[in-house]
Structure 1
């Protein structure tokens, strides 16, 4: 049976959004790209599903 293993969510504030999902759903933080790098995001997991929370917008050159 097919299952969802990865979800990506775009938001204005990845850190604040990640804190919500960690608190409410008990997800664990796996990785974080620093703010201001043009690739802002936080990656979470429950051990089965991987959840990427990414900053809205385009990468600045």
Structure 2
């Protein structure tokens, strides 16, 4: 699970990349964090979609 601290670290590395650049170790850490974030996001989205119930019809007494 991605915590607030990990998101802050991702953002810190992104800011540093835009300003002074990243060392090879920092680039590797950034990629690792991004992949972990994407995995967590996909799992959460799948969970949300799995819990959606689709209803095709309105009850007969509610139709206009």
TM-score (norm 1): 0.30
- Whichever structure has more helix as a proportion of its residues is 2
Larger Rg: 2
- Whichever structure has more strand as a proportion of its residues is 1
